[in-house]
Copies of this chain bind each other. A is one copy, B any other.
Amino acid sequence: MSHSQTEENYLKAIYQLSQSHPDGVTTKSISQRLNIKAPTVSDMLKRLSAKKLIRHARYKGVTLTQKGTKVALTVIRKHRLWETFLVEKFKFKWDEVHDIAEQLEHIQSPVLVNRLDEYLGFPPFDPHGDPIPTKEGLINSRYEKTLDQITEGSSVEIVSVRDHSSKFLQYLESLSIQIGTRVKVVRRIDYDHSVVIETDDQMEKSLSHRVCANLFVK
């Protein structure tokens, strides 16, 4: 039994939303994430439930079943492997690959995915620093801390980004910030929660709270 692209997109969205809401994902949040109206989501949840891919009690949040989780992780695995492929082999920028990977993640061929993985040398992370689930469905947990939570004076490394939009990624490039960049928190501004950082090149830069909250660090 295979699943439609639409179903896969719902499962992936539910998986990702459940990372911050393990006790149940709301219809509204899925609706916003996928840009689909709530009644349509309600409908789909009924179908996914009938297929035993999610658990759903009416008017309550949803959680993925083991079966649903496996599908979601497979889709995420493919998305991140393809993104890595596009950057490593086809010389795309990290802000150009997401939309293409949104399509490639639905290609059905387990053997293709594994050849891709092998061709790339079994990469543990994608170009945005996100962990790539293994063939067995294992995924490293992501670092939880974001740059806005770091105390003054500490030095940290950027390990991944929360926002994958071109806009954000291009802005980071203009600041010379990428995955692996070390930054020192020079000052935290109380007024607007912005942060002044210093990068390797000794330059001081000011980052808004919004930007910092989208940068995972270790």
Determine the distance from Cα of A107 to Cα of B99 in the docked complex, in whole angstroms.
11
Interface 0/1 of A63-96, CB less than 8 Å to B: 0000000000000000000000010011110000
Is A109 located at the chain interface by the 8 A CB criterion? Answer: yes
- Residues of B near A115 (CB, < 8 A) are 90-92
Say yes or no: A108 contacts B103, CB within 8 Å. yes
In angstroms, Cα B85 to Cα A90, docked, is 12
- Cβ of A143 under 8 Å from chain B: no
Partner of A89, one of B104, B107, B109, B119: B119
Q: How many residues of A contact B (CB 8 A)?
A: 16
Question: A176 CB to closest chain B CB, in angstroms?
Answer: 25
Alpha-carbon separation in the docked complex, A124 to B127 (Å):
32
Which residues of chain A in 109-156 are interfacial with respect to chain B, using CB atoms and an 8 Å cutoff?
109, 112, 115-116, 119
Is A50 interfacial (CB-CB < 8 Å)? no
Question: In the assembled complex, which residues on chain B have CB atoms less than 8 Å from the CB atom of A104?
Answer: 107
Whether A100 is near chain B, meaning CB under 8 Å from some CB there, is yes
Partner of A100, one of B86, B90, B107, B119: B107
Min Cβ gap A29→B in Å is 28
Report whether A119 and B103 are in contact in the complex, using a CB–CB cutoff of 8 Å: no
Closest to A5 in B: B5
A86 to B113 Cα, complex, angstroms: 12
Asked whether B119 lies within 8 Å of A90 as measured between CB atoms, the reply is: yes
Q: How many whole Å from A121's CB to the nearest CB in chain B?
A: 14
Instruction: Say how far A21's CB is from chain B's closest CB, in angstroms.
Output: 32
Q: When the two chains form their complex, are residues B91 and A100 in contact, meaning their CB atoms are under 8 A apart?
A: no
Which residues of the other chain, B, contact A109 by a CB distance below 8 angstroms? 99-100, 103
Q: Which 4 A-B pairs have the closest CB atoms?
A: A90-B115, A103-B107, A100-B109, A100-B112
Residues of A whose CB lies within 8 Å of any CB of B are 86, 89-92, 99-100, 103-104, 107-109, 112, 115-116, 119
Given A91-B115, A92-B115, 14 more A-B residue pairs with CB atoms under 8 Å apart are A86-B112, A89-B119, A90-B112, A90-B115, A90-B116, A90-B119, A99-B109, A100-B107, A100-B109, A100-B112, A103-B107, A103-B108, A103-B109, A104-B107
